[in-house]
Structure formats: structure tokens, C-alpha cells
């Protein structure tokens, strides 16, 4: 894996591309940006593997690399004052006969949550997604975002407060 051979990198891509894209999409809110992050992560992977110390799971390390890459992309976009187009993601709900009402409610809930998340300031959305979706601890989020663990906890609290207001409105 560390050799950076095309075959090894191809296997890593096949095994992890979906998870990398999903995390990048959740963090950036843009399919185009997520595709760019996916490409950036795997293009630079052979170089990044030099810093992989094999302490912990490879998947966790790859998620940290992905989160950092996505966050750098969002910072760059802010500096250029680009506004992302925030398309609604396709729902992956499977609709079975008799379950149409439940599936419809699920789709509506997902769309409402996605819309509410899209309206959060990027700094709050990043902390929310890293903590609540990806399961990072506040100290890990702080390291990724360059903030303190306390600031991460505060941002998470603010994110939840804004989401509650948005979803009850």
C-alpha cells in the first residue's frame, strides 16, 4: 500500500471512494466540490501515505485526510467568495408497496434536515457533521478545524439550536 503502485491505489479507490465522496459532500454541501475533494484526496494519497503511522484504523485516517481536504476547499472558496449551489441530494429510500406513506415521510424529513443543514453557517455545519454524523470527538474536531475543543462544543450547541428553530418553523 505504501509503495503507491497504481494497483494498490486503485484498490484503495475502489474500497473507499464512496465513503470519501459521502463525507466530502456532507461537509461541502456541493456535488461538484465533493467530486473535487475526492479527486484531490486520491491524487495526493500516495504522498499522504508517507504520514500514515498505522496507529488506528486506515479508514479513520482517510476520513481525517478527507475532512482536512474538504475544509481547505471551503476556506479557499470563501476567499474567492464563491457561493455553492446546494442541490437537494437524491433520497436513497426504498419504497415498497404499503410503505409509501412512511417512505414519503422519511424523504420529507431527510430533505428538511438537509435544507436546514445547508442553511447553517459553514463553521457550525462542519462541527455538526464531524461530531454527529462522523462521530469525531471535540478534541479531534478542534485539531481538524484549528479551534479548541471548547469552541467545537459551543459551535455544536449553536448548530443544534439553529437546527431546532429551522425544523420547527
- 128 touches 160 (CB < 8 A): yes
Lookup: cell for 20 = 470519501
Q: What are phi and psi of 71, to 5 degrees?
A: -65, -40
4 conformational bin, left if phi > 0, alpha if psi -120 to 50, beta if neither:
left
Q: How much is the pLDDT for 80? A: 52
Q: How much is the pLDDT for 87? A: 41
Q: How much is the pLDDT for 105? A: 58
**pTM, whole model, 2 decimals?**
0.63
Residue 3 neighbours by CB under 8 Å, 6+ apart: none
Q: How much is the pLDDT for 36? A: 93
Residue of 45, 66, 50, 49 lying closest to 136 (CA atoms) = 66
- 58-77: b (≥16 Cβ within 10 Å) or e: eeebbbbbbbbbbbebbeeb
Measured CA to CA, the distance from residue 17 to residue 5 in angstroms comes to 17
Q: How much is the pLDDT for 127? A: 92
- 84 touches 33 (CB < 8 A): yes
Lookup: cell for 135 = 462521530
Q: What is the pLDDT along the chain (169 residues), one digit of tens a residue?
A: 445 577 888 898 999 999 999 999 988 888 999 999 999 999 988 788 877 777 778 888 898 889 889 888 887 766 555 444 444 444 444 444 455 555 555 566 677 777 888 888 888 998 998 898 888 899 989 888 889 999 999 999 999 999 999 888 7
Amino acid at each position: 500500500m505504501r509503495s503507491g503502485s497504481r494497483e494498490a491505489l486503485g484498490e484503495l479507490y475502489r474500497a473507499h471512494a464512496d465513503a470519501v465522496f459521502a463525507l466530502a459532500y456532507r461537509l461541502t454541501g456541493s456535488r461538484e466540490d465533493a467530486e473535487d475533494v475526492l479527486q484531490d484526496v486520491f491524487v495526493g494519497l500516495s504522498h499522504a501515505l508517507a504520514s500514515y503511522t498505522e496507529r488506528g484504523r486506515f479508514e479513520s485516517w482517510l476520513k481525517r485526510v478527507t475532512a482536512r481536504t474538504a475544509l481547505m476547499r471551503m476556506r479557499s472558496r470563501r476567499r474567492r467568495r464563491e457561493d455553492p449551489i446546494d442541490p437537494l441530494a437524491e433520497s436513497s429510500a426504498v419504497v415498497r408497496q404499503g410503505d409509501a406513506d412512511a417512505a414519503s415521510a422519511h424523504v420529507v424529513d431527510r430533505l428538511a434536515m438537509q435544507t436546514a443543514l445547508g442553511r447553517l453557517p459553514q463553521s457550525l455545519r462542519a462541527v455538526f457533521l464531524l461530531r454527529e454524523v462522523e462521530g469525531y470527538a471535540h478534541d479531534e474536531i478542534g485539531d481538524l478545524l484549528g479551534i479548541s475543543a471548547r469552541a467545537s462544543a459551543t459551535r455544536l450547541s449553536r448548530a443544534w439550536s439553529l437546527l431546532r428553530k429551522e425544523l420547527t418553523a
